[in-house]
Structure 1
Amino acid sequence: MRPNWDEYFMAMAVLASTRASCKHVRAGAVIVLDKRIIGTGYNGAPVGVKDNCLDVGCNKENKGMNYREAFNVGKCIGVHAEMNALANLSREIHKGATLYITIFPCPTCAKNLLAYNIKKVIYKREYDSEESELSMALFKEAGVEVEQLDLSSEKIKEILFNQDSVDFDLFAGEEKKPL
């Protein structure tokens, strides 16, 4: 099965999320311009910080806080996937680019995305509905197009591993026919 462009780029965002170093949330992001990836990111410790949640535990929990009850209290050392994708933008012009993100951006990330002139956000799922409302309002006011892409894990597996139209499948146990 050959995925459409949105499915392809969201699958890439899902793949990026596998590098996340937060023990609670795995998020991945891909920034696309003219059907070319110009930036990717995942959530985790900032560049240069060796200690991350997977190695030393959640900074919030280490300070006695409940992760779910400690949103936006300034105790998390993690950088969100969107911000890492922006930081990792290739030097190409990004004005008008599309962001593919596995989890809908929080208000802080939404504000930063607006500063980079991102014109479309395609997300897989929502994280926190109250924060999503504020982000959505910011995007709407700035004229950013927002779309949710329903891409199930079954569909991702089909995209990755069901390539019947290909003579030689990289993931098959054996060749389909001699080359």
Structure 2
Amino acid sequence: MQDHDAALQHNHSLIPWHSMFMGVALLAASRSKDHRKRNGACIASVDNKIVGVGYNGLPRGCNDQDPAYWADNDADPFQSRHSYIVHAEVNAILNCVVLPLTGSTIYTTQFPCPRCAQSIIQVGIAQVVYLEKKSHQVALNSASDKMLADAGVRVLSLEQLESPSAQWCGKLDEFIRATGPVMHRGGT
């Protein structure tokens, strides 16, 4: 068994854990039917096991072919997709196969909004690793940053954590976007 473990430690062709978990988040995002932004999340336990995966989408039972759910009129909550879509981070938490999530890491394709940050904190996730942060949402990002910092949740971009992983995931994201059409009406 020790020979096998030693061989694995020297195998440089294995992708790093961070790449794998962010890759799972990216693949999950490809299931989203949101025509404006597809997001994904993957929760990994402290012993590198995937315990939850999610993407941004409608709650179960809601007809994703109903155009009312996908409207972009943010001035009217009834006609705004933001009122209906469950964010990837929350879906990953709700889809967890084990609880508690204490000490785990959530990998997100986009920096968590304040609502998602609240959920992350409440379930005991210890670390957030994100792929991108929307620069035009400074106030929302600041609110999330404050809550996560005050709660002791470590927050890192994948680029900060592991630059080669960020490059690999960036290429995977480009591939998924180029090959996977967004279908939010009439598709599966």
Interval of TM-score (by shorter of Structure 1 and Structure 2): 0.7 to 0.9
Q: Which has the higher helix share?
A: 2
Range moving further from structure 2, 148-157 or 79-88: 148-157
Matches within 5 A, 1:1-179: 1-33=13-45, 34-49=47-62, 51-52=63-64, 55-57=65-67, 59=69, 61=71, 65=73, 70=74, 73=77, 75=80, 76-127=83-134, 128-150=137-159, 151-152=166-167, 155-156=171-172
Runs of 4+ in 1 over 6 A off after TM superposition: none
Q: What runs of 5+ residues in structure 1 fail to find an aligned partner?
A: 158-179
- State the number of aligned residues: 148
CA separation of 1:72 and 1:18: change in aligned 2, threshold 3 A: farther
Deviations 1:100-119 (A, max 9, x none): 00011100110111100110
The sequence identity of aligned pairs, in percent, is 32
The AA in structure 2 aligned to 1:112 is S
SS in structure 2 at match of 1:38: strand
Return the offset for 1:58: 5.7
The AA in structure 2 aligned to 1:25 is K
What is the RMSD computed on CA atoms of the aligned residues? 2.2
Using structure 1 for the length normalisation, give the TM-score. Answer: 0.75
